[in-house]
Structure 1
Amino acid sequence: MEGRMRVLTMPNAAFAQGEVSVERGLQVSIIGGCHDCHTEGYSETEGKIDPEKALMGSSVGWRGPWGTTYATNLRRDAAVMSERGFVGMLKRIRTFPPMPWYNLRAMEESDMQSLNQYIRSLGKPGKPAPSRIHPDKEPTTPYVQLVPPQMPNN
C-alpha cells in the first residue's frame, strides 16, 4: 500500500447518545470539528480521516493579538491522562483563539469519554505540535493571520 492513503470511515449506523464507545468518539470528533484543526490535511481531503495523521495536531499556526497558537496533538494528551483526567481537562480547559474551548463544556460526559477512547484507539501519540509563540515573536512555520474586527466607539 505504499503511496496510498488509508482512510478511516464511519459506519452508517447512528451511535446512541449516552453510549461510550470508540465508534461514538469518532462521531463526536467529526461533529465537534476536532479534525478541522487537529488533523493535518483533513479539509484538503474533504473530510477523509487519515488514521496516521488523525488528531496529531498541526504545524500551521493561527496568529493574532494573542500570539501564534497551534492545534495540539490530542493523542499525546490522551496518552498521558486517565479517561477521568482527560474528561476533567475538557471541562476546565481555557485556551487561546481560535479554539472554541467553551463548546467542549457543552458536551455530554459520555461524549467526552467516547472521544478519549477514540483518540487512544488511534495508536502511537507521535511528536508534539509546535508550542504557542508570544505576540512579539515571529513564527517560523506557516500561519493564518487572524485580525479581529475593530469595535466601534460608543
Structure 2
Amino acid sequence: MKRFTQAILTAALCSSLPALADATDAVARGRYLVEVADCNGCHTAGFAESGGAVPEADRLTGMNVGFSGPWGVSYPANLRLSAAGMSERDWLARARAGGLPPMPWPALKAMSDTDLRAIYAYLRALGPAGVAAPGALPPGAPIPTAHFVFVPQPPTRVASAAGKH
C-alpha cells in the first residue's frame, strides 16, 4: 500500500510540473516584455534618471509626475496595484480599452493575449506595492504635481551656415 500511495503522489506531483513551468515561463516572458517595451521608463519613479538602476522590488509602482497636454494631465499608473486589483480577464479588457496619452495604447492593443497575460503574470508575481498614482485631470485644471508638458512648440530659427560671414 505504501508503494501505491507513493506512486499516486509522484504522479500527481509530476502532472502539476508542466503547469508550474508554464507559470514560471509566463512570468519570465512578462518581465522580458516589460523591459523591451520600456514600461519602467514611465511607471517606475527614478528609472530613467538612474539609467535603470532601480531594484526590481521597487519597479512599476507608478509616478506622481504627470504628463500634461491637450487631453489634460495623466499619470503613470501603479501597475502592480492595478494587476493585484483585477482578474486576468479584466486586465485584458483594460489593455484593449485604451486610455490617455502618452501611454502607447496602440502598442499595447497590438500585443497578443498571450503577451498581455504574461505581463499580468509578472505584475502579479511582483505583488502589490506602493500607492495609487494620482487620478487624471481634465484640461485647464490646476496641476498639483510636477509634470512634463507635451505641447508642440514652433521651430526655432536657425541661421544658415551659408548666410554667415
Bin the TM-score by the shorter chain. Answer: 0.7 to 0.9
4+ residue runs over 4 A deviation: none
The TM-score, its normalising length taken from structure 1, stands at 0.77
Cα distance, 1:36–1:142 mapped onto 2, change above 3 Å: same
Corresponding residue of 1:39: 44
Asked if 1:53 corresponds to 2:58, the answer is yes
Q: Does the Cα contact within 8 Å between 1:25 and 1:111 map onto a contact in 2? A: yes
**What corresponds to 2:135 in structure 1?**
131
Aligned twin of 2:70: 65
Distance in 2, matches of 1:97 and 1:149, equals 18
State the aligned residue count.
131
| Long gaps (5+) in structure 2 | 1-23, 155-165
The answer to whether residue 88 in structure 2 is matched with residue 83 in structure 1 is: yes
Q: Which residue of 1 aligns with 2:29?
A: 24
Please provide the CA RMSD for this pair. Answer: 1.8
More helix by share: 2
Percent identity, aligned pairs only?
37
Equivalent pair of 1:60/1:141 in contact (CA under 8 Å): yes
Scaled by the length of structure 2, what TM-score is found? 0.73
- Show structure 1 runs of 5+ residues with no match: 1-18
Whether the aligned pair in 1 keeps the contact of 2:98 and 2:109 (CA below 8 Å) is: no
